[in-house]
Chains A and B, each alone.
Chain A
Amino acid sequence: MSEMNGKSEIEKKISHGIEAAAAANKPLTAEEQATAGFFKQLLGFWVTFRTMFKKVNTVNYPEVKEPTADRFHGRHQLNRYDDGLEKCIGCELCAWACPADAILVEAGDNTEDERFSPGERYGKVYQINYLRCVFCGLCIEACPTRALTMTNEYELADDKRDKLIFEKEDLLAPLRLGMIPAPHPMYPGTTDTDYYRGAIKGPHPDQEVKK
């Protein structure tokens, strides 16, 4: 830094800034007010006037709702295969990836009698704490089976803290036409690999659990 007139370059700049700020804050003198006539004031209103004819960006929320961007990070969803089996395998990678520690997963063991997902393992307990979630989406990136995705739903305010801890049944995707709710067996003659490859396009009548 060079030394000039006993003041460094940066000190000079700072003092210029302070002077400029002080000048801007100073009230107008009577002389200045007299020179700023009616037209000058009208020029100020012009900005307001012009805006009145512009396209409106706000909507009358909540009566009117605009769709979000396609990839908006909203509430999570736990997806299903096309026959209704859950995609979540309880691997906890989402919980591991979560920077806010908002996800809690406890896995369970699929049995022949009670199968929730293809393969050996399923998510028995699945909770997302929306008081903690920062909607960063690292969890859905981590998910190895695309079980966890995010919807565009953003209306997540509530009046009790415990209502904002979403359980597995709150997060599971709704059953689409033809899907059989888990637990039920895998599509006859297939393995978990077929499910992961996307070969299951719908349920088979044999998968219906007889009660």
Chain B
Amino acid sequence: MTPEALTEVEMITVVIDGFEVTVPKGTLVIRAAEKLGIQIPRFCDHPLLSPAGACRQCLVDIEINGRAFPKPQASCTIPVENGMIVKTQLTSPVAEKAQKGIMELLLINHPLDCPVCDKGGECPLQNQAMSNGQGVSRYEGVKRTYEKPVAISSQVLLDRERCVLCARCTRFSEEIAGDPFITLNERGALQQVGIYEKDPFQSYYSGNTVQICPVGALTGASYRFRARPFDLISVDSACEHCASGCAMRTDIRRGKTLRRLAGDDALVNQEWNCDKGRWAFKYLTSRERVAAPMVRGEDGELHETSWPEAIAAVVAGLAGKRAGVLVGGRVTREDAYGYSKFARVALKTNDIDFRARAHSVEEAEFLSSTAISLHTNYLDIDKADQVYLVDFEPEEESPIVFLRIYKQVRKRGISVSTNAPIISSGNHKLKAVRADISSVQLTEKSVILVGERAAETAGTLSAAKALAEKSGAKLAWISRRAGERAALEMGVIGNLLPGGRPVSDAAARVDMATAWGVKDLPTTAGRDTTGILKALSTDKSLGAVIVGGVDPMDISSDALTSLLDSFVVSLEISHSAVTAIADVVLPVAAVVEKRGTFVDWTGKPRSFDKAIADALTRSDVRILSMIADAMGAPINLPTVSATQREIESLGVWDGARASFTLVASSATPTVSGSEAMLYSYRQLLDLGALQMGEENLAGTARASVARISAARATALGVVDGDSVKISSQTGSVTLPVLISEIADEFIWAPRNSVDSQLIPTLGITHGSVTVVKA
């Protein structure tokens, strides 16, 4: 908050339990009491949700200017006023008696489930019944019972007997996530939480309702009966699933991740996260994890071996060959730096790229000249008058960004527009409208959010940059994967060295060569992912490749075959398509097993510590350092901490940025008849590698459908639910139709979902396809 904003707020002084406290106008009594360290018991009150006064547990005695309220009042709904004197349970016997009465009433129908309840041990109801309740119950009747538990989605289980009707979950769904699929039904003693019969509780944020439930009414299916709080070691961590940058808490029991919760970071994720971040961690303990280094023997099979032998095999394989490095977008900043330095110092090449997805030269230039220095952040969204989305679906590709935009749409009615031909269900919640990038009207307070898919259409990034310059709007580039911004900053791209130093700048090269203690660095800009794959397969100018966590199917359907003829070193956590063909496979630490830093889309570092203290796996940078030592070209990065220190000491480039040659937009191709333009993006919950093995999470993934306009449906003679066949030159997919708000010439299909994996089947993710009724 700016100093001007601070002075504008009127301050109010109230007396609580005999102590004076001065708080801004509008502060609730319960919050003012917190400031004094006075804890008033509560269930429904949550600082990020609107006041409800539903549970009545926070009753206090209030008088204003000598006039007392006739009855105790709920302190979570009453804002402070001048001359207010509040007496909580600590000083007022009336308030204490009222609170005890409420607690007794709440417990009348609450089952004695604590021994079998997952909340037991960390339950606000248990705790406050002990601190503010009375020891005995006067109720002798039969408790109200319901069938239990009811699975309201594959992830969330509802036990209505335990519910205290605080409405936190329903308020969260409506106010924060915008998915009001969960609601309070019936009235009086029979009131209960329920879902609409037609719409299952399919929110991407449903896990937050489990976390904020003050009793065990909502529990997660994945954590059901797994542990008690005293079994767990909780470690602050950062989320590896997207570039939103959520603070997380990882709970470990005996070396195994059992649960992940949203951490508290007011500037980033507040107290929320998405279900993918919360529940997609089974890949950590998957049977597919690579356990030991493996070298392909003469029999053509991989054999487990020792680290020195595996390193020796890598050195022998790389000898005399020119090698490229494909890193993937999921690395930490330290690992990215390791790859970058390894490529330049040990392999003496700039052929390194983190983009395991559609990319272009235009994008590389945009990233190295513009995106690397962008610092637009969540606060800019909070202040924006308009948000323009360029090839970016916030709910699917960066869910916490979606929550921030949704908050402002609800609070201030800001307008949201998108260049996508379709208004997706997420954007529908944002009341987004379609607006062409050439005609959209923005102001200096607007924010332009550019997604990674902007690289797929030539000219989009140039147009977005031009739009930002023309209007003065703030620009941000949001990758889908968590490691891309860090990889960019660490120079894991052909035209940049660490810290944004352009390869083409001689001074920048000298700068880095001095820091690294080498004579010189390669001068020509490196090839991108496509270029490296081409060099490995067709012109054979590269003979070897180091591959980090890359799924070749993210790049193209023939990317894997391009690797077949060369020496492949794979640094992986789990067995994959690449390890199946690799000559040497080196196991690396997954995110809970190492220290590191992710850099979120705003450029903010999100450091995390090793969650499993006795994990034996090693971070990529340590392994690369061992290889470099064995090659006789040491990179001297033996630990993550040493790498962090080296990155700190380098600083960022203060010279001229890399150049950006604007590219003209290509004309929109016209379609006719059964032809359509394919538009696709990845859904948040799909067949992604990090979601493997988590069936409960997969159960709430959105169904695979082909979205077409009403006009095309009429032309094809199909209605909702009928199947259509989408064909390209290489193959086809058949999907049920859903008539949606989409431009007539387009068809939308999910990119990597069940029954709809576009790269292996169609070979393309965008462009012209044929659509017929199936």
Contact = CB atoms under 8 A, between A and B. Distances in A.
Interface of A: 89-93, 95-96, 106-109, 119-121, 144-145
A119 B116 CA distance: 9
Contacts of B149: 120
Contact of A96 (B116, B121, B148, B224): B121
B139 interface: no
A106 B226 contact: yes
A2 B327 CA distance: 84
A91 B226 CA distance: 10
A91 B116 contact: yes
B585 to A, nearest CB: 32
B225 A96 contact: no
Q: Is the interface of B mostly helix, strand, loop or mixed?
A: loop
B233 to A, nearest CB: 14
Given A92-B231, A144-B115, A107 B120 contact: no
B224 A109 contact: yes
Given A92-B228, A95-B230, A144-B115, 12 more contacts: A89-B115, A89-B116, A91-B114, A91-B115, A92-B231, A93-B115, A96-B121, A96-B228, A108-B225, A109-B225, A120-B148, A121-B225
A119 B149 CA distance: 11
Contacts of A119: 116
Contacts of B228: 92, 95-96
Contacts of B121: 96
Contact of B230 (A91, A96, A107, A121): A96
Interface in B210-233: 224-228, 230-231
A132 B226 CA distance: 24
A90 B231 CA distance: 13
Interface residues on B, range: 10 to 19
Given A96-B121, A119-B116, A144-B115, A90 B225 contact: yes
The 5 closest A-B pairs by CB, nearest first: A91-B115, A107-B225, A121-B116, A92-B228, A144-B115
Contacts of A106: 226-227
A119 B225 CA distance: 13
A132 to B, nearest CB: 16
A195 to B, nearest CB: 13
B696 to A, nearest CB: 12
A120 B230 contact: no
Nearest to B120: A91
A96 B121 CA distance: 10
A101 to B, nearest CB: 10
Interface string B421-462: 000000000000000000000000000000000000000000
B53 to A, nearest CB: 33
Contacts of B225: 90, 107-109, 120-121
Nearest to B221: A109
Contact of A120 (B116, B120, B226, B231): B116
A93 B436 CA distance: 62
Given A96-B121, A119-B116, A144-B115, A107 B231 contact: no
A109 to B, nearest CB: 6
A120 B148 CA distance: 9
Contacts of B120: 91
B146 to A, nearest CB: 13
Contacts of A144: 115
